A and B are shown apart, each in its own frame.
Chain A
Amino acid sequence: MSIVTVQLGQCGNQIGFEVFDALLSDSHSSQGLCSKRENEAYQASCKERFFSEEENGVPIARAVLVDMEPKVINQTLSKAAQSGQWKYGQHACFCQKQGSGNNWAYGYSVHGPRHEESIMSLIRKEVEKCDSFSGFFIIMSMAGGTGSGLGAFVTQNLQDQYPNSLKMNHIIWPYGTGEVIVQNYNSILTLSHLYRSSDALLVHENDAVHKICAKLMNIKQISFSDINQVLAHQLGSVFQPTYSAESSFHYRRNPLGDLMEHLVPHPEFKMLSVRNIPHMSENSLAYSTFTWAGLLKHLRQMLISNAKMEEGIDWHVRPPLSGLPPLGKMSLNKDLHFNTSVANLVILRGKDVQSADVEGFKDPALYTSWLKPVNAFNVWKTQRAFSKYEKSAVLVSNSQFLVKPLDTIVGKAWNMFASKAYIHQYTKFGIEEEDFLDSFTSLEQVVASYCNL
């Protein structure tokens, strides 16, 4: 089944390019560590999910590119074409002349309705090209105007027009110290709206990915390109074909459906994060070897202690011993200690993957009381290695990982809202103080729900 990607705004388009590039590079990689037949099945599955075929054999990404000003889309299209390996569809983009000015209200209330028909029609064409359609993957940032505001509008529309299809929104959390001054306003408006209309929110934080570039990849002068490539690597290791646990004879057909089923058991809990291990520069990779036991031990501790990457993990954090009374309401004031999960999914790829032991993830102490581990935890194992890593593991988690960042953003937005700063820029386009209050209420609700796990 195929996934249609919608890339929105500068961030969405820059990332989208890296994702398709990563998927295809991995697909063509010769270091799959598996049989030829296996590899071919992998490639075919990857192709079906993300690309359509053209006459001369160049794969075309199943994507719709949307931006309110032309510079980034032009760059993205030409970079893809230059790779020679794949490209975007000729008529797959929608562009305007003037951007959204970092204004969520402008993206949502002006650009949205104005361009609704054109954008939805482009999306429909892409969906019709799919023999069998799995759902939408929408890439956007929260801080700007187009990705955030127009992204929220488009997602809502998708919910109305494709009520039976799944939507996963990939959201970029901005750096804590500003990229955009009104980023906190834009973020809370985006999140509250998406919580109603999206099925799952897969989050990447710029601060976290930046640290991975600095500490694990040892990049000296980190550019957005570097950051996006790390991101794309993580997404690739989630979305590339995997075997179903039951049958090792064919790759899963419905990736989005399976992800949602395993990770979003309750509509109140939709926030997903990604952690992967190992991740390093190519130079270091040549000199490293791994065992599944080692990788999984680290990954489990990353989950429990809320670590964003494999360096600097706090090994003192332990899950509460089973049988003892629960720890009670999580306090936001203290350092986050133990990270309780709603659901977890571990995806393993590579050599000897069948021997990997994931029992550590089935400990009921890791999970909230209303879900048994057998329902809350899943593992997908695939022989075929990913992107030059002999063994790689990725954890997609629905847990308290994002509570602190969310709480921080809500707090900052609230402080700014109290002074009414910048509000006139939003009311100008129809987003009133009431809308802000609604957003605050929804998000406080989400924070409270997660805290009470």
Chain B
Amino acid sequence: MTQSVVVQVGQCGNQIGCCFWDLALREHAAVNQKGIYDEAISSFFRNVDTRVVGDGGSISKGKICSLKARAVLIDMEEGVVNEILQGPLRDVFDTKQLITDISGSGNNWAVGHKVFGSLYQDQILEKLRKSAEHCDCLQCFFIIHSMGGGTGSGLGTFLLKVLEDEFPEVYRFVTSIYPSGEDDVITSPYNSMLAMKELNEHADCVLPIDNQSLFDIISKIDLMVNSGKLGTTVKPNSLVTSSSGTLKKRHKKPFDAMNNIVANLLLNLTSSARFEGSLNMDLNEISMNLVPFPQLHYLVSSLTPLYTLTDVNIPPRRLDQMFSDAFSKDHQLLQADPKHSLYLACALMVRGNVQISDLRRNIERLKPSLQFVSWNQEGWKTSLCSVPPVGHSHSLLALANNTCVKPTFMELKERFMRLYKKKAHLHHYLQVEGVEKSCFTEAVSSLSALIQEYDQLDTTKNMPVQDLPRLSIAM
């Protein structure tokens, strides 16, 4: 079994990360009744004997003593990380795995990337190496950050290059929160554009998510919960937005519900690698199957169901509804409509009591309404994990490599150009050492090239599929 390390960068990254660890503990507590440190837990947690001082405390088997998250927390302000360390999760984090500063990056990618990057490069390397050493077989780094700010965006993407050089064999999965239309950070288009170039070049796989979509999902859930449809009640703990016991009291912060959705995404993504099932899917299979060309590594995700009704016997129709929902634009974690764009590849990761016939029936049913690229007409990757998420009997995570990400990127470029044409706030970036106009122009061409690729694929959308002439053999 392999291990993964989570690197949470910036305010957004750390807040999401915190929710993730909370939910991960809850999930493992529900599955692992006997308190034995097994391989599933070891993928995200170390087992440490806290009585031993220094580094010798790792225990590889036997009863759980004290679980430590395989995480590195990075923020250039202290506020968020301090809060985490004073909160109920403080024992889960290893205090040596933090990197903080006081002044913050001022919502400036250049400060995060160039200034703090060079300042903290050695420390970052050291912490990463340490966390890798604690792993038997490190498979993946999960980086969580936002694109619009300064630290998550700048320092978060600086990290990618470091990881690529230092650990070339380990996958880099990046969960990136893209700014919404009404973002209150004025410079977010600059930050996002500059970060995009790094994501294009140094990430193996990116899961773009935006706040607007998360917010819409929350509203939808609230509507459902509060509408009090006759005879149905929502199961407690089954909301994709709910937290476990530890964070309950402080739940009322506005972003918590949204962050929990992202945390659930990460849990479901890794479930088939951690738990058993009849058709397993490891993390390296995600990249293998969903990234047909190295540059096209942006995956739109959707999670269903959002909540479970206390209906114990769920007939197949409900199950099928889960599959239909996964393709509706209301369930995507990005403002995107995959159903009306072109699929390059699609992965369906199912958890719980679902069998291969259910999966096949739904694929057959939904296929006709979806458009796949000509060379990948049956581009489905599927997995079945026997362990459902907490509070559900089954769930589905759909990952789509689809041209529906194009509008997001085009909008990003547009917002960027509006600022850039006027040279607004540009001096804040140019006055940082190592930043020149060329950084901006290169970033723009990188994004334009990517949009171009999606464009070309889109033109093939409605063309009839032709079989190419085959090799002919002389008999």
Residues of A within 8 A of B (CB): 10, 14, 69-72, 74-75, 97-99, 101-103, 145, 175-182, 210, 213-214, 219-225, 227, 410-412, 414-416, 418-422, 424-425, 440-441, 444-445, 448, 452
Contacts and interface: CB of A to CB of B under 8 A. Distances in A.
A224 B293 CA distance: 32
A297 B433 CA distance: 85
Contacts of B345: 181
A269 to B, nearest CB: 14
B468 A99 contact: no
A178 B378 contact: yes
B285 A99 contact: yes
B139 A98 contact: yes
B51 interface: no
A101 B475 contact: no
A414 B293 CA distance: 17
B356 A227 contact: yes
Contact of B39 (A70, A213, A227, A415): A70
Interface stretch (B14-22, B241-249, B273-281): B273-281
A177 B471 contact: no
Contacts of A448: 473, 475
Contact of A101 (B1, B136, B282, B367): B282
Interface of B: 1-2, 39, 136-137, 139, 275-276, 278-280, 282, 284-285, 287-294, 345, 355-358, 360, 363-364, 367, 374-382, 384, 467-468, 470-473, 475
A413 to B, nearest CB: 10
A10 B280 CA distance: 8
Contacts of B355: 221-224
Nearest to A411: B467
Contacts of B290: 181
A181 B380 contact: yes
Contact of A97 (B1, B279, B358, B378): B1
A11 to B, nearest CB: 9
B336 to A, nearest CB: 20
A98 B294 contact: no
A441 B278 contact: no
B381 A421 contact: no
Nearest to B359: A179
A213 B282 CA distance: 28
Nearest to A440: B471
B152 to A, nearest CB: 29
A210 B472 CA distance: 33
B358 A221 contact: yes
Nearest to A441: B471
A411 B467 CA distance: 8
A146 B36 CA distance: 30
13 contacts: A69-B2, A69-B280, A71-B39, A98-B284, A101-B287, A181-B345, A181-B380, A221-B357, A225-B278, A411-B467, A415-B374, A421-B293, A452-B475
A181 B380 CA distance: 6
Contacts of B291: 422, 425
Given A97-B137, A98-B2, A422-B292, 19 more contacts: A69-B1, A69-B282, A101-B285, A102-B284, A145-B288, A178-B379, A179-B381, A181-B379, A221-B355, A221-B357, A222-B355, A223-B278, A224-B279, A414-B471, A415-B374, A421-B376, A422-B288, A424-B293, A425-B288
Nearest to B289: A181
A225 B276 CA distance: 14
B288 to A, nearest CB: 5
A418 B468 contact: yes
B375 A419 contact: yes
A223 B277 CA distance: 11
